[in-house]
């Protein structure tokens, strides 16, 4: 099976590493299929190399506790608090600067905060025409509308424009989403870009030094010309920051008009041959390794154990000579 060429992440800032260790301690069992970088690339770019300590739920900020429960990101949790929709032990909160313990009663819109879940991550091949938002004011169909019957309550790690295709990472852990979105995490986003116009290889090479467009500075950008097809050209572009419409603005700055944009990798996770509209969970062990910790994946209950027992009872297949 052929996999696309990806990239390895650089070592992140210490703050991102600390969050990674915390999330790694919560990773549980997951799916089976994930396209990854070669082993040497993953080893070189592993987010955290030291052995992490177990994190404790007691005494953490309430917005973080809400995010860890999988309801929303920490930023959205802070917004809910500001709107007066969160109660702590029967009292409406007005500030997120509050620590909570497992024994505290946290409610959002009158509903109790669910127990924190194991951190899980999915790869999704987003087709063009879907909005990456839980609610669209214009009534357009969203990614979450398309996946409502297949997944639990999830949030996206970053966004893709309505006409952008390709890899979108989804998680049930708001804190994990926030971590992987941070520029400090250093995970490279790779795109295949079809654009109208004739790219100048020299201009593409200069992007490695970064550039400023309309007062907004963009960091180093990897851009290469793949091939030309008539009036269009295919480019490979890699960015680290993921600012709003960054790839399209960069191309416009070079006199190119993007008419197709496909994200093929986000850090070590790749689109691979995941079919359009397809969803695949990242194995828990893989996720834990990328967050800096190897864990023993717990079994998922009686049915899982029965399945395992049945597999052990099956006779071994004879190997053909």
Q: Catalytic amino acids?
A: 161
The helix (run of H) or strand (run of E) holding residue 88 is strand 86-88
**Sign of the dihedral defined by the CA atoms of residues 25, 27, 33, 35, in that order:** negative
Buried b (16+ CB within 10 A) or exposed e, 193-223: bbbebebeeeebeebeeebeeeeeebeebbb
Query: How far apart (Å, rounded) are the C-alpha atoms in residues 10 and 16?
Result: 12
The helix (run of H) or strand (run of E) holding residue 212 is strand 211-213
Query: How far apart (Å, rounded) are the C-alpha atoms in residues 48 and 292?
Result: 4
Neighbours of 88 (CB within 10 A): 16
What DSSP assignment string belongs to 16-84? Answer: HHHHHHHHHTTB----S--B---HHHHHHH-S--SPPPPP--TTEEHHHHHHHTTSS-HHHHHHHHHTT
């Amino acid at each position: 099976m052929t996999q696309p060429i990806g990239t390895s992440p650089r070592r992140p800032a210490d703050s991102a590493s600390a969050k990674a260790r915390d999330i790694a301690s919560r990773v549980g069992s997951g799916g089976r299929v994930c396209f990854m970088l070669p082993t040497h690339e993953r080893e070189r770019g592993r987010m955290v190399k030291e052995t992490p300590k177990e994190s404790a739920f007691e005494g953490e900020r309430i917005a973080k506790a809400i995010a860890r429960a999988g309801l929303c990101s920490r930023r959205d949790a802070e917004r809910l608090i500001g709107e007066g929709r969160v109660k702590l032990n029967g009292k409406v909160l007005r500030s997120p600067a509050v620590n909570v313990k497992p024994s505290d009663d946290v409610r959002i819109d009158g509903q109790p905060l669910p127990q924190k879940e194991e951190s899980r991550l999915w790869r999704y091949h987003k087709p063009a025409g879907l909005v990456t938002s839980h609610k669209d004011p214009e009534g357009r169909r969203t990614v979450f509308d398309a996946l409502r019957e297949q997944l639990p309550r999830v949030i996206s790690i970053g966004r893709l424009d309505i006409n952008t295709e390709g890899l979108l990472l989804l998680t049930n852990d708001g804190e994990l989403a926030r971590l992987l979105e941070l520029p400090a995490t250093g995970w490279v986003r790779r795109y295949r870009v079809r654009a109208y116009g004739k790219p100048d290889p020299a201009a593409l090479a200069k992007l490695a030094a970064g550039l400023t467009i309309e007062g907004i500075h963009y960091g180093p950008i990897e851009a290469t010309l793949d091939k030309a097809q008539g009036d269009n050209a295919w480019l490979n572009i890699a960015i680290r920051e993921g600012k709003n419409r960054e790839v399209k603005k960069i191309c416009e700055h070079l006199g190119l008009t993007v008419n197709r944009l496909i994200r093929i990798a986000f850090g070590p996770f790749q689109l691979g041959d995941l079919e359009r509209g397809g969803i695949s969970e990242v194995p828990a062990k893989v996720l834990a390794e990328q967050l800096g910790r190897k864990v023993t994946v717990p079994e998922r209950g009686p049915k899982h154990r029965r399945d395992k027992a049945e597999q052990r009872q099956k006779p071994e297949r004879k190997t053909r000579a």
